[in-house]
Every structure is written in structure tokens, then in C-alpha cells.
Structure 1
Amino acid sequence: MRAGSPRLLREINDRAAIEALLRNGPLTRAELEGIIGLSKPATAQLLTRLEEEGTVLRDGLRGGGRGPRAQLWTVNGALAHVAAIALTPDAVDVVIADISGATITEHRAPMPRTGVLEAFHSAVTKAAAQAGLTTDALHHVVVGSPGAVDPTTGRLNYAPHMPDWENKNIPEELEALLDTPVTVENDVNLVALEEMIAGRAVGVRNFVLLWPADAVGAAVVVNGVLLRGATGGAGEIDAMRVPDRAHAETGTDRAGSRYGDLLDSASVARLARAHGVSARSGQVAVEKALSAGPAGREFLVDLARRVATGVANVVAVLDPELVLLSGEIAQAGGTTLADLVAAELRRLVVPRTPVELALVTGKPVRSGALHSALSVVREQVFGLPAATTEPFRGPNQQGATAPGTST
């Protein structure tokens, strides 16, 4: 064997143990031994070495039964901290976690129409203080935002609904404010990442995720990697011109309307009213339609026609394995709406692409941002493989290898 081989083997075994602890939580020596396949003495030596380095900690005892209680081991979460942020025109939603993934604190603050950088800085600073940290002690911050950051200029494009964020090098300015590395990622891309980690896209190599909302967004994954395009705008389909194939008349341009204008909340509510389903928002309209009898069904079919017409353009070009529907309107419609979209899609394109409801709910943008931040920091601290994404990074990371790439 080469002189360096024993050390290399130790590093491989250490990474395997750390990865097992991160994935499964606190483990006994015997449990860890079973997962990584080492002998009892080798596993004991590994844990002793990692404990001396401060990488793992003892975490109580697991008892029960007639035998002695077993020592539990866990990753030392204090080795690094990250922040994940979901940014919208109305709010900034922050979570801070340690490198083990344990949430330390959460903070949500309103986003004003002006002075957005100051408001952003204040929110993250407050969240960090709640965690007993300063912003420069955060090892990495990932921000999920509407629109897309141009990798050349750092400017936020495709986001006219984000006032006061235009004409700024967003990653550069956020890094200067927080004094720590920052990644800015499209919000729907982060939802797709979360679906790849913990949702319906686990093991799916090629798929499209659509988020019908006031600004329609889509994420495109090809061969397991997010597709961003030359200016970061891949999947920004809100401005795409599509005909309105809904049967009910709501005053739209039948020949070709802005896709986003057909699926925003107000437009969906108008379509519902045209079918006799009255609601104050698109989400509520879809919820009511599920129990509104034939009128509700006709409205949902019309809505599915609108969704499918835009999706058909994407499917015809990419031929994905799967289309996922996410967001409040999609979740409100559930599998009923997804099935109706699939039926309409089959009338428009040759591929019989399945259409399913995204599995991750709650705060999927923030969850995706957290997984992305943890992936970056675990690569830096533990040498674990990072997620196969290539987000735009700020000046503190220029020249660094993006996750999933090689130099």
C-alpha cells in the first residue's frame, strides 16, 4: 500500500461516520458500526479520535431492557452555523441552525417598500442575536428570492414585484451587510432542491416544478442538476405568452395572454366567479371549488386548462420524467387539480408526463435554503459531497468551486 493510504482510509471512514450521524441523529457505537461496516475496535477508535478533535460529542445514554445503557454519539453542532432566508415582497423569514441541522431560532419581519437592505440586515441581525451570534459568525447564508440573479452583474431580474431591489449587486451587497458568505438562489429552485432531498423528486433525474402564483415560477432539473440559463432566468415563465383556453369568459386576451396574468390570485378568483364560485382569493376559490359540486368542478377544469397550456410548452421542449405542482393554489387543489392538469396536458403534447402534487409543504423555500446552506458548510468543514447545484455566490466566494462541479 502507498504511504498515504492509511490516512486516506481514516478520512473516508471519518466522513462515513459523520454522514451517518448527520443523517440518522445520535447513534450508539454498535449502531454506527452496523451502518459504516467497521469492526467494533475500529469504530471505537474512530469515535475516540473524532471526540478528541471536537467533531463528535457524547449525547446521553440509550437505555431500556435488561442490558446496560449504551453511550450515544452526535455531531458537534457548534462547529458551524448557517442562516436560511425566504425573501418575499412582504417579509423576510429567517431560520438559524447549527451544522447538525438543529434549528436554533426563527425570526420573521415585515419587508418595507423602501429601505429593503436596512430591513433585511435588521432582521438577520436580530435572528443571529436570538441565537447568541453575530452575523459574521454565520458560516454561510442562503437567501431564497423571487426572480433570478444574473451571474454576470449580480442584479435581480424577473422580479418587478420586488421594489427597491433592482439595480443592486444583491449577493455583493448582502455579503457586505452581513460580513459573511451569501448565496442568493431563486425561490422555486430551492423548492425543487427540497423535493429532490425529501419530496416526490427523490431519485428523479429530470423534472419540472411549477409554482402557480402572482408571479408564476418554474424550476427545471436536468440530469439531477438545476438548470439556470445564461442570465439565471431558466424557468422564469411568468411573462411567457399563452392562449387562454378556459371556457369561461373573464376578459382575457384569448390569442395570447401573459402566463402570470392567467394564474395570479385575482385572475383565478375571477375565473371562479365566472363559474359561480365566489371567493376573495385564488387559493380560497380553489378550496371552495372542491366541495362546490358541478360548478366547482367546471372551474377547476378551466383552471387546469390554463395551467396545462403553459406547462405544455415546457414539456414539449424538455420531455421531463415528472411535473410537480407546488405553492398555495396547487396545494389547495390537491391531487384533484393535479389529475385535471395531467388530463389537459395529454391533449396538448405527445409525452405522457405524470403530474403530481409536490410533497414538501409548510415553508419549502426556507427549507430548501437551509439544506443548501448546510450542504455548502458540511463540504467545507467535513469534506462531505455538496448538493449538485451551482448557485450564484458573492465576492467572498469568488474562485471557489461551486457545489457539484470540479476544477
Structure 2
Amino acid sequence: MPASPSTARAINDRLALRLLQQEGPLTAGQLKQLTGLSRPTVADLVERLTASDLITVVGEAGEQRRGPNAKLYGIAADRAHLAALDVRTEGVSVVVSDLVGRVLAEASVPIGGDTGTGPAVEQAVTLVERVVKEAGADRLHTVGIGAPGLIDPSTGELRDSSGLPEWHRRLVAALQERLPEARVSVENETNLAALAEQRDGAARDRDTFVLLWLGHGTGAAVVLDGALRRGASGGTGEIGFLPVPGTAALPSATDCEGGFHSLAGSAAIVQLAGECGLTAAESAREPVAAGVVREAAVLVSGARAVEGLLPDADAAARFLDALADRLAVGVASVVAVLDPGCLVLGGEVGQAGGDELALRVADRVRRLSPLPTEVRAGALGGGAVLRGALLTARDRAQDELFAPPGRWSAPSGR
């Protein structure tokens, strides 16, 4: 049965909008070529989408020809404004963007461990409101939040966890109350980092991979056949609780100390560096653990270039080797169960280690597992969480705004 004229128009509009999302600004002629639609049909849909304020003229095509240059049409970027939050145990970062993802304003605020729940929530919400104002946005359409912890797959809410600050859970409700028109959703930080690395980073050519998050704590995100896997309770990738050799005790249901976290968390990495004779210096630019890993990688690669004449290069090599030994224990466990073929060392530490650390981990996994696994350094580091939250917010806003008439769903936690 052929589609009705209104359904056909909606399908054509949706196709054109998707192409403008993926390809950027296009002329009517390019839309005709990419969609296979007739010239009059393309002219009609361009007129409809322009009248609906979904697309706008953003320039002219570069090629010169007789008569005027062709108009370039693009997504109406100011149709909606979006916010993304990266919520950490020690603070929160915020970016506000337009509908095509162009960042308009951003800021961060530290939140100390001794800050009460109410004041911490107020600090975070006030930061969001300030960044929205600096971006020149009247209101937010969608807010994407990345936070540590488990997301309940049935409700989309951040689950209570004894190891995380209470203000994390309160923040989501507070934002929804202060921004009643916005669609607010929360996702595990490591899952968002994996999305960002797949779309814009180290896993762009992979539809099956695992991201190992190496930051303040540890975690993993699993992407199989292009789909993020969350598990029955939202706990896929809680690798910090993985029992491993080399620790003094076993983890418990409420504490990951004694698990893989005790080998690969930031505190453990800094301690390992000290045992190898390296000093971890404080830095405003990146966490201490990432800084000492980055410095070690630079020393080792530099020593190789000048045939080992750099001071501290031997200590740096011992440190990277020992860290790779630890990481390989967790990676080999993941590989044995999932066989992802590719593992990305994400977070600030994974990016800081670069190829020096990734190649060492790959070598050890090759000895531990018969399953071929490529190990890559993350390209986005700690910024992957904010990038993933912004990508998610943009996708959800565009899905709603670009939906055919009559198709609308109420905002929800997911």
C-alpha cells in the first residue's frame, strides 16, 4: 500500500534533515542528488523545512557559474540550546551549545568533599544557570548529564550508591525543578565516553569494542554490534569490583577496594609511580595520576629517540611496565568474556599513556589470551564525558524537533 502524501512528505523531510545533520550544509541540488528525489519535491521540502524554522540559508555554494550561486541550507542552529554536564566526585563541568553542537559557553566549579548536599547542589545548578546566561540562551531544550555510578535501566535514574556523594542524585531532580521546560537525562560517565570515542575519537572505525575508563576510578563500557550494552541492572562494565590477584583483600558489594580499582585507580597509580622512583607533581591542568603517566611516556619515548641518555628514563620504563602488568589483568578478563577485538584505554590516564602504555598492555594481553585484541589509547581523555553528554543531548533534541507532525513523546529520564 503506497504511503499517503502527508506520510511521504514526512519521510522526505526526515531524510533531508538527517543528511544535513550528517553532511553539514547542502544545496538543493546536492539534496536532490543524495536523496534521489525530484527537483520539485526537493524544492517543496526545502520550503516546508524553512517555514518550520528547522533549516535556514547559511551561505552560498563555492563554485562559480552563470547566474547567482546556489544557496546552502543548514540546520537552524539557534532553534534550540543544549547543555552537557560532567559530574565528578570533586566537581562539575558544564558546556552549553546550539542545536548543531557548537559550544557557546563552558565553565567548571570544584566541589569539596566536605561540602554539604544542599550547598553542593546549589553550586552546580547555579553554574549551569550562569553558563546558560553567558551563552545567550533564553532556555534549554535538553540537558545531558554524565555521572559515575549505576543508571537504573527501568527508570533512567541514577541509583543510590554508598561510594558516591548524595548531591549527584539530588542534582538531577534540582535541575529538572529549576529548568522545567528542559528534558533532563543522566547516563553513566563511562558509557558517554565510549559514545564520544566511537563518534569522534579512537573507535571511529569500530562497531564492537570496550572502553576501559582510567581516571579517578575505573570502569568499562561495552559496545557490541554498534549498541551500548548496559546489563540487567545497568551495571555492565563495573570492572572496579572485579576480583584480581595482587590485592590484599577481596571487594565487597559496597566497596570496590580489593578489586581491580585497587590496582588501577588513580591513588594506586600514584603510589606505584613512587615505588618506581617517580615523583607525581600537582598540576592544575590534569589529575596527578594522569600527569605522572604522561611524564613517564614522554621520558621513555624521548630516551628511545636519543638512545637512552635521558635521566629517569629507566624508572619511567619500569613504571609503565608495572602499570601495564596491572591493566592487562583486567583487560584479559574482559577479552576472555567478550572478545571485543578492540580495547580503548580511555579517561585522563589512558590518553596520557598514549601509545607507550597501549602497546605495553597489548603485548601482555597477547601473552595472556589467544583472542586477538588491538589496544588503543583514547583520543579524548577526560573530555570524552562532556563530549558524549553533548552528543546525546543533541541527538535527543534533534530526534524530537525533527519528528514528523503528531509524533511527540513526553520528556523522560531516558
Tell me the TM-score normalized by structure 2: 0.82
For 2:240, what is the secondary structure of its paired residue?
A: coil
Q: 1:172 to 1:129 in 2, by over 3 A?
A: same
Give the C-alpha shift of residue 183 in structure 1. Answer: 0.8
- In structure 1, the residue matched to 2:373 is 353
Distance 1:231 1:119 in 2: 31
Give the C-alpha shift of residue 169 in structure 1. Answer: 6.1
Distance 1:189 1:285 in 2: 26
Deviations 1:122-150 (A, max 9, x none): 1111122223345xx32211100112233
Deviates more, 1:304-313 or 1:114-123: 114-123
- In structure 2, the residue matched to 1:227 is 229
- In structure 1, the residue matched to 2:307 is none
Quick check: 2:121–2:170 contact (8 Å CA) kept in 1? Answer: no
- In structure 2, the residue matched to 1:266 is 267
- In structure 2, the residue matched to 1:306 is 326
Q: CA RMSD in A?
A: 2.7
Q: 1:288 to 1:120 in 2, by over 3 A?
A: closer
Quick check: 2:84–2:386 contact (8 Å CA) kept in 1? Answer: yes
User: What is the aligned residue count?
Assistant: 377
- In structure 2, the residue matched to 1:405 is none
Quick check: 2:183–2:412 contact (8 Å CA) kept in 1? Answer: yes
Give the C-alpha shift of residue 255 in structure 1. Answer: 8.9
Alignment partner of 1:96 is 2:103: no
Percent identity for Structure 1 against Structure 2: 37
Q: 1:396 to 1:15 in 2, by over 3 A?
A: closer
Alignment partner of 1:364 is 2:378: no
Unaligned runs of 5+ in 1: 245-251, 385-394, 403-407
Q: 1:253 to 1:45 in 2, by over 3 A?
A: same
For 1:100, what is the secondary structure of its paired residue?
A: coil
Deviates more, 1:48-57 or 1:4-13: 4-13
Q: 1:159 to 1:380 in 2, by over 3 A?
A: farther
Distance 2:99 2:22 in 1: 12
Quick check: 1:150–1:156 contact (8 Å CA) kept in 2? Answer: yes
Give the C-alpha shift of residue 324 in structure 1. Answer: 0.8
Q: 1:159 to 1:13 in 2, by over 3 A?
A: farther
Alignment partner of 1:325 is 2:345: yes
Distance 1:304 1:159 in 2: 30
Alignment partner of 1:126 is 2:130: yes
Alignment partner of 1:107 is 2:127: no
Give the C-alpha shift of residue 78 in structure 1. Answer: 2.9
Distance 2:137 2:50 in 1: 24
Q: 1:132 to 1:217 in 2, by over 3 A?
A: same
Give the C-alpha shift of residue 203 in structure 1. Answer: 4.9
Distance 1:19 1:267 in 2: 46
Deviations 1:4-31 (A, max 9, x none): 4333222222112112222232222223
Distance 1:169 1:63 in 2: 51
Deviations 1:267-301 (A, max 9, x none): 22332232333333332322232324333222211
Aligned counterpart in structure 1 of residue 357 of structure 2, from 337, 345, 351: 337
- In structure 2, the residue matched to 1:144 is 146
Q: 1:208 to 1:133 in 2, by over 3 A?
A: same
Deviates more, 1:349-358 or 1:35-44: 35-44
Alignment partner of 1:57 is 2:56: yes
Unaligned runs of 5+ in 2: 252-257, 282-287, 300-311, 405-409
Quick check: 2:348–2:381 contact (8 Å CA) kept in 1? Answer: no
For 2:186, what is the secondary structure of its paired residue?
A: strand
For 2:277, what is the secondary structure of its paired residue?
A: coil
For 1:238, what is the secondary structure of its paired residue?
A: helix
Tell me the TM-score normalized by structure 1: 0.83
Distance 1:64 1:159 in 2: 61
Distance 1:319 1:184 in 2: 28
